[in-house]
């Protein structure tokens, strides 16, 4: 472990434009289950019923009971973990220019990260599919007692979490910004992603094709391990908290 950590420190020290790309594994240590892998949500809940736009439009009760019984209590309780704070520290130290996340939990921003691109939206916001008004998840959670599934209090339109369901496109602006960041970085650091959900999972490949080094920190193997300069199969918080520890004798963090 020490050897790979030292290698990662060297790679980060040499980098001028570091971009981090995060997935559900980063928030697993905050108590939010991943989708895939051991204990993943999709091992219990069928994504085609709970996160598919066509099914949702036919019968939104599946999603809203999942929100009421599973999603809301978990997200409400979750707090950023050392891996989120390590990325904030890298940003403060001027090393990290951009975080691109597939996570919908908002924990990067709660930890204090300023440059975050959310590719799959944010589940803390609920949007009216008709008038596009936004509500907090707390407001809608309370509303569920009176109305299930909930409708927009303004126009009676259908409410949906402000996230990207299967069958929906990614927000174009976020995708463009993420592509730009991937094309212009010199180090692309993947943390806690299975790298199987496209188009998000294409970004490491794009970074690599444009000359960046690719580093992957993930417990399980990923389809892109073979093209990475460095792969660390360890917990995100363990790796990232060591990375940001300052060594006064050597200057920046290393």
| Binding residues for ligand NAD (CB under 6 A) | 23-25, 27-29, 32, 34-37, 40, 102-105, 120, 192-194, 196-197, 218-220, 235-236
* Residue closer to ligand NAD, measured from CB, 18 or 217: 217
CA–CA gap between residue 173 and residue 40 (Å, rounded): 29
Q: What's the closest the beta carbon of residue 37 comes to ligand NAD, in angstroms?
A: 4
* Residue closer to ligand NAD, measured from CB, 89 or 105: 105
120 is catalytic: yes
Q: Which residues of 46-62 are buried (b: 16+ CB within 10 A; e: fewer)?
A: eeeebbbeebbeeebeb
Residues near 128 by beta carbon (within 8 Å), at least 6 away in sequence: 134, 135, 152, 154, 155, 157, 158, 159
Q: What's the closest the beta carbon of residue 197 comes to ligand NAD, in angstroms?
A: 4
Q: How many other C-beta atoms can be found within 10 angstroms of the C-beta atom of residue 163?
A: 18
In total, the chain counts a number of residues equal to 254
* Residue closer to ligand NAD, measured from CB, 159 or 240: 240
* Residue closer to ligand NAD, measured from CB, 23 or 149: 23
Q: What's the closest the beta carbon of residue 86 comes to ligand NAD, in angstroms?
A: 12
CA–CA gap between residue 254 and residue 248 (Å, rounded): 8
- Strand blocks (E) in the chain: 18-22, 96-101, 116-118, 121-128, 134-136, 159-163, 187-191, 213-217, 230-232
* Residue closer to ligand NAD, measured from CB, 122 or 152: 122
Structure-token match 């080094």, residue found: 213
Q: What's the closest the beta carbon of residue 146 comes to ligand NAD, in angstroms?
A: 28
Asked if residue 179 lies in contact with residue 11, where contact means CB atoms within 8 angstroms, the answer is no
69 DSSP assignment: I
Active-site residue (options: 17, 120, 180, 233): 120
Query: Which tokens in the block code for residue 201?
Result: 């999972």
Q: What's the closest the beta carbon of residue 111 comes to ligand NAD, in angstroms?
A: 13
Q: Minimal CB distance to ligand NAD: which residue?
A: 25
| Residues with catalytic function | 120
């Amino acid at each position: 472990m020490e050897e790979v950590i030292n290698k990662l420190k060297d790679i980060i020290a040499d980098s001028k434009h570091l971009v981090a790309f995060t997935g559900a594994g980063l928030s697993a240590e905050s108590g939010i289950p991943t989708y895939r892998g051991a204990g993943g949500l999709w091992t219990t809940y069928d994504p085609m019923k709970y996160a598919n736009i066509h099914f949702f439009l036919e019968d939104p009760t599946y999603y809203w009971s999942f929100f009421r019984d599973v999603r809301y209590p978990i997200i409400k309780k979750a707090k950023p973990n050392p891996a989120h704070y390590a990325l904030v520290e890298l940003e403060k130290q001027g090393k990290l220019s951009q975080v691109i996340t597939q996570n919908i939990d908002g924990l990067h921003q709660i930890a204090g990260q300023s440059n975050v691109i959310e590719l799959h939206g944010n589940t803390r916001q609920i949007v009216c599919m008709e008038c596009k008004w936004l509500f907090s998840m707390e407001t809608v959670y309370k509303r569920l007692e009176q109305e299930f599934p909930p409708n927009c209090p303004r126009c009676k339109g259908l409410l949906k979490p402000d996230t990207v369901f299967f069958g929906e496109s990614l927000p174009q602006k976020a995708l463009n910004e993420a592509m730009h960041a991937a094309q212009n970085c010199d180090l692309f650091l993947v943390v806690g992603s299975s790298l199987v959900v496209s188009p998000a999972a294409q970004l490491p490949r794009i970074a690599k094709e444009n000359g960046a080094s690719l580093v992957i920190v993930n417990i399980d193997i990923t389809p892109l391990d073979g093209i990475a300069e460095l792969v660390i199969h360890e917990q995100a918080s363990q790796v990232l908290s060591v990375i940001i520890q300052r060594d006064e004798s050597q200057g920046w963090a290393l």
